[in-house]
Every structure is written in C-alpha cells, then in structure tokens.
A and B are shown apart, each in its own frame.
Chain A
C-alpha cells in the first residue's frame, strides 16, 4: 500500500530462526533478500518504510561468516497488524526454503533499541567428523590462551584476537569425541570470528562444522527472555 496509508499502530516482533543447510552459504544480503521474500510468501502484513522507495522494515542481527550454521539468529521486523506468534511461525515455515527454520516469535517493545546494539557475545560449537578430529585439541587451546596477545589481520588491519575470546574450552560429546565451545565478543568493531580462532590454533577453519548456538546480550532484555 502507499506509504502515506501506513497506520501508526505498527507492531514489532523478534523472530528466532535457524540458518542451516544451503542457506549457510548465503551472505547477509542474501539472507535479507530471502527473509523479505519469505515474509511476502507467508502473506504477513509487512510494514514498509516511508519515502520514495519504500522498503520492508526487517532488521537482521549479526552477520554470520559463510558456511557457519546458526540455531539462534534473530530478526527484528515490523508488521501492520498483530498476529499470533504461533500462527506467524507456521506461516513463515511453510513459506521458507529448507535452510531457514523458524523457532519462535515474540512481540517486542517498540522502544527497545535495534538488535545489533543489544548483542554482547556469541557462543559457537565446533565439531569435527571422526576422521578429521585433531588429536591435540586441549594442547592447542592451552597454547593459544597462554599467549599475551594473538595478532591477526582482517581486511588489511591488524588486531588482537585474544581479548575477544571470552571462553574457549574442550568438551566431550556423548560418543567420547572432543569438540570446542567458543564464546567470543560480538560488538561493533569488536567481533571475534570462530574461523579466525581456529586459524590462530593452526587448524583448518573449513574442516569442522561450526554452529552458532547462543547470543548473550548487554543487559537482560525482552530478546533473551525464555531462551535462558
């Protein structure tokens, strides 16, 4: 509908979704595009921005490096009318490609700041196929964390990765195999990347399956109610 007919009673939702399968090889723009199309196919009453080129009001959280699966992505969207969360999830699921799995929708306070500004850190799980399992995982972790700084380069700029690592531990899976649990900082200008942590341990970042399993927020907000 024309921008001038948008009612002031727009409703805000936070939607939790998983990005997996083929979708994990799409970048943030691809995700944005797919999300918009999924919302349109689901016939949700999307709210559009005002102006000469109105665009739907969809805000996606922190970009994932290509190839990484996430079980906890968050979208911040605005609709023209309220809709029951379970209905919304069902409609979205039916309209989404196989790599998008919708987990939960919650109405959100309109005044809360943009999602990206609420994120503090993210947790990743790093698992190898049996034949690719590195043997000295514990030693590599100890070695990495015992350094006084880990200088890495990204887009031609040097930075210290160490202070961005909030947690790095070796866990045992039920089948006895070892995996890594990594918690890194996720704030504007202070983003720790799991592939960089693996590289710093001299491990091939493309060998294991990496999954983003959880976000941590700056303060207790509506976003992570229920997920704790």
Chain B
C-alpha cells in the first residue's frame, strides 16, 4: 500500500492540473488530525459526492465531532473526486485517500457512508472501487474495512443491500458509537467477520441486510423478509435521540468556495405539518426543538471559531419553531454590527414570516424570498395535505414586495397521478397573480421565479402506494408551464422527467435493483445527481441486462396489503396510520398540524420511555405521565 508521504508527492504533481484542487488537500482550519498508530480505531466518514457538497453536510460534521471526541477513535473525511481528478488518480495509481492523513481509505477499520438521496448510489460504488474495497459485502474479507451507511435514503436500504455491511437506521449521534465500539471490540479479536455482523445486528437501529432472506411471489411482489439469525430483529426500529445534542464547538472552514459557506445550526428536528409527499417530514418525527439560549451561544462560539460571515438556522419548517420570534430578536441583539448574513429557510406562507425576515435582515441582502405553496388548487392542496389558500399567498406576497424584496421564489410540485392539466394551469395563473401583486407595489421590477419539481412517491409516506406520473403526462404538464410562464417578471425551473424516473425507480426499489445499480455503474453511470453526467440510457440498459421492468417500480400502484420492500424498517410511524392518511388523501381530506392535536401516528408509543425521560416542550408530542409506582406525575 502507498504511504501518506508518497501519496502526497504524487498529489502535489497532479493537483495543479485539476479543477479546484483545494477539494483534495485537507488542511483546513479546525481540522483534527489524530495520531494514527496510537489511536486504536480508524474511521472514515464518506460523502459520495464532491467536497463542495460534502463539506456542507451537517450530518458528517456532527458524526466526525462525536467520533473524534473519543480518545480511542479517530475520524477522517472522504469525498468523491470530480471526474478530472478521478482520471488523474486512476492514471497515477493513487487510491482514494482520507483528506486528513492522506491514508488510503482501505487502511481504515470502519467506513461510514452518507446516503441522503438515491442518485448518490452509483457514486457509492465508484467510491468503494476507487478505494479498492470489494463492492459486495459477501466478497469482503477480515482485512477489509467494515462498510456502514446511514442517511435519509437508507430508510429503504434494499436497493443498496448487497453493497453495505450494516445500515444505521435513523439518527446516528448515539448509534455511531455503538457500532464503532463493536468494531473496535472485534478488531484483533480473531473472530470472523460474520461474528461481528451478528453482534452489530443486536444493536438497536442497526440493519444487517445479509442476515435477512427475501422471498418473492410469482407476480414479483415480496412474499416475506425473514431474519436468518436470532440476533437480527424482525423489524428494525429507527434510532432517535431524546434531546438534540449540542452542536459541535468547532467547524472545519474550507478555503475554497463550497455550497454553503456558513455556520449551520439545526434549530429543530422533524416537522408536524404532515405534507403527504414529504419523506423528511414522516421519517424525522418526533419534533424536537433546541433551546434559544443554546442556539445563540452556539452561533457565537462558531462565529468566533470559524470567522464565517453567514449563519443558517436550519429546520424543516422554521416558522414552526415555537420560539422563533424570540430567536430572531436574540440573533438581532446579540450579533448586531457583525456584518452577518442570516438565512432562515422553510418559512410558512403568512405575514409573520415576512416580519421575521424583515427583522432578521435589517438593511441587507433582500435577494429573493422563498415560499413553497406546492399546489395551486384547493383540490390538490387537499390531496397533498398542504392547505395554503390563494388569498393567504397573495397577502403574503404583497407584504414581501412592499418591504423591499423584488423577487419571490415559489416552489410547486407537479406529477401526482390525480393531478389534471387544470391543476397545473392554476400554478401558472397563481404565479402571474403573485407577479401582478408585486407590480402594484414595485412596478416592473417584480419578479416571480417558479421552481416546479416533480412528485416522487417515497417510502414511509402516505404516498408510498401511489404510482409515479407517466412520462407523457409529466411532459404535457411541463409543456403547459413552459408555454404559460414566459414573459416579463416570470421565470420557470423544472426537473427533467428522466431524472424523476430514476429517483422513482430507486426510492421504492427492492434488492433486485442492486443488479441494476451495479450494471449502470459498470456502464458509466456516476454523479447521477449532476445534469452534465446523468444519462438515463445507462439505466435503461442496466434494467434490460438485469431483467428488471422499471415500470413495476415506478408506475405500479401498490396494493394496500402488499408487503413493501421497506416494511421491515420501522420509521416509527405506523403503516396503518400512513394507510389511513393515504385514504384521506383520496377524498381530499386535510389532517391538520399535529402540534395542536395528536393523531397517534405511532411515534409516541414506540418512544414512550424516551418521551418520559424528556418531558416538557422540547418535544412537540404530548407528554406521557410517569408510570405508576415511579413517584412523579
């Protein structure tokens, strides 16, 4: 194996020849480089896309911090090289290396891969290949690293099952240490790899796909998923933390420009809104808030330790953070005069949001104000469970334009199979109404940018049974929008239907899709999330080679009693609740925000002990009285 010094010398020669060489050097401010020989467990955290994106991934940052705080563990970073660097590395015999120590990834004990979305799957295979690690779990020996994965896409782990030794389902803050401890205990124990897998299977929230057998019905649906060893539970309940752990004190500061150059603070996890298309909203329950004081202290600490000039206050729905006004006022008071840029994404469509942004921005940076109405007719709003009235949107728009913003970005979603061309026409009409509202206030400068994505039915949501819209229908809807949304003050962005098809195929796939992913990668698919790299032909060819009919996964309506490929993964929300919500959607019935009333989604009984241990307003779920005999209550 190549040593770090040799590797660095080779690197120094090729780095001046590639784009943005700062992606591949490490050495950023606040980097932690621990001594290799005196640290027993070597872990590498990988984000299988480029540095620019990976460095903006909060999950990696948090897990690095947790692992590096352990005296007997070290954690280093790994990202995918862009194609120019990959070519240079392959040509010069440079294996994939970790940025901190420049050691080959294959030298590490444990590789943790972040899988936030499905279009990162081929990059994951490419990353393992560049590292020289066997792609299939079954081909790895005791000398190979243990490969684990976590992130939103692993709530349906099946398409990647053969390639990953262990999946961490749910939140990783505590689970990562359980896994790392088990790997450390196994390392040097002389026990076979299979023994480690069985001990990992016994950890809550850990799914070892090789310990489960999948049977299929003659029609191709799943007959059953059964564990084959006693340690493996029939269903794997996701891990959550009772309280959001305090953010790290320090953050790496890249010296190149990355996607988000800012201090990211998670103010709240989860969402109570219950939009039926929203994967994140369903899998991240329950809602847990971080206290205002902790957020403010953390911002101060991180601004001082990074020198950043921007803060992102992150959550799935910022307006729903119960102390939002107090938070915004606190930020204002505490950091006045620091020349800060503050972003507060995901705001509700109401005047209060405009007041908040007005407070937050003072005199600076009124670029665009973003709102996500998602649908433009009452009918569609009922189907997707996002009840925002046109009236409310127009009033909010008037506020926005009259307070100094010139541009409103509106996010919509097309492609629900029950959506008609009239519903899509209404999107175009609504955009024009918003623009006209702007013209009343600021004249011709008023601009509406519509971002129209295409609906993808996701696992663990009420729409997990719904077929994806046909490509012809999506094209017809997009044609309509392109026709309608032209002219002054209007701009339209949309997603290519082929990209939507790939995501729809992979997100509700089963184990048989692993062959498709492998073939697609072997035929050149990688960076599928990048328009300049994505080519649906790789995937169509791969489907043919694997004997897989993509329509079976994308366009088939699932039966209500069908065993779904991810049914053994328990996200906390009951399948019966999702089904009830699915039926409500068919009749356009709204299920209101669950902050005011609990609809028994299933989270609370599954995490009742954790809720008892963390009483009070930090959780949005109702309180559970202490059990009898425990005294309190």
Contact = CB atoms under 8 A, between A and B. Distances in A.
Interface stretch (A7-15, A30-38, A83-91): A30-38
A78 to B, nearest CB: 15
Contacts of B256: 26, 30
A23 B337 contact: no
Contacts of A157: none
A109 interface: no
B538 to A, nearest CB: 32
B330 interface: no
B25 to A, nearest CB: 4
B266 interface: no
A199 interface: no
B626 to A, nearest CB: 47
Contacts of A218: none
B15 A67 contact: yes
Nearest to B15: A25
Contacts of A48: 339
Interface residues on A, range: 35 or more
Contact of A25 (B25, B261, B306): B25
A66 B255 CA distance: 14
Interface stretch (B26-34, B422-430, B590-598): B26-34
Interface in B339-365: 339, 363-364
A38 B309 CA distance: 12
A215 B29 CA distance: 28
A53 to B, nearest CB: 7
A98 interface: yes
Interface in B599-629: none
B246 interface: no
30 contacts: A1-B337, A2-B337, A25-B24, A25-B25, A30-B22, A30-B255, A33-B255, A36-B309, A37-B308, A37-B309, A41-B29, A41-B306, A43-B304, A54-B339, A65-B16, A66-B15, A66-B16, A67-B21, A95-B307, A97-B29, A97-B31, A97-B253, A97-B255, A99-B255, A195-B16, A205-B16, A206-B13, A206-B16, A206-B17, A209-B12
A40 interface: yes
A186 B25 CA distance: 28
A40 B307 contact: yes
A97 B29 CA distance: 4
Given A22-B22, A37-B308, A53-B364, A99 B16 contact: no
Contacts of A99: 27, 255
Contacts of B22: 22, 25-26, 30
Most chain A CB inside 10 Å of its own CB: which residue of B15, B307, B308, B337: B307
Given A25-B16, A67-B16, A206-B13, A37 B253 contact: yes
- Across the A-B interface, give the 6 residue pairs with the lowest CB-CB distance, nearest first: A37-B307, A22-B27, A67-B16, A22-B25, A40-B307, A25-B21
Nearest to A65: B16
Given A21-B27, A67-B16, 5 more contacts: A34-B253, A40-B307, A52-B364, A95-B307, A205-B16
B307 A38 contact: yes
Contacts of A31: 255
Contacts of B15: 25, 66-67
Contacts of A65: 16
A129 interface: yes
Most chain A CB inside 10 Å of its own CB: which residue of B12, B24, B306, B308: B12
Contacts of B364: 52-53
Nearest to A5: B337
B468 to A, nearest CB: 42
B116 to A, nearest CB: 26
B307 A41 contact: yes
A31 B255 CA distance: 7
Contact of A37 (B13, B21, B306, B363): B306
Given A25-B22, A37-B307, A206-B13, A98 B339 contact: no
B305 interface: yes
A42 to B, nearest CB: 8
B12 to A, nearest CB: 7
Contacts of A29: 257
A63 interface: no
Contacts of A95: 29, 307
Contact of B13 (A53, A54, A97, A207): A207
A129 B21 contact: no
A96 interface: yes
Nearest to B308: A37
B482 to A, nearest CB: 35
B367 to A, nearest CB: 12
Nearest to B14: A206
B9 interface: yes
Nearest to A68: B16
Contacts of A207: 13
A207 B16 CA distance: 10
A25 B24 CA distance: 9
Interface in B263-312: 304-309
Contacts of A209: 12
A184 B562 CA distance: 75
B250 to A, nearest CB: 11
A53 B364 CA distance: 7
A205 B13 CA distance: 9
A195 B305 CA distance: 37
A13 B587 CA distance: 71
Most chain B CB inside 10 Å of its own CB: which residue of A34, A38, A129: A34
Interface in A36-64: 36-41, 43, 48, 52-54
Contacts of A195: 16
Interface in A74-112: 95-99
B380 to A, nearest CB: 41
Nearest to A132: B13
A37 to B, nearest CB: 3
Given A21-B27, A48-B339, A129 B9 contact: yes
A48 B81 CA distance: 37
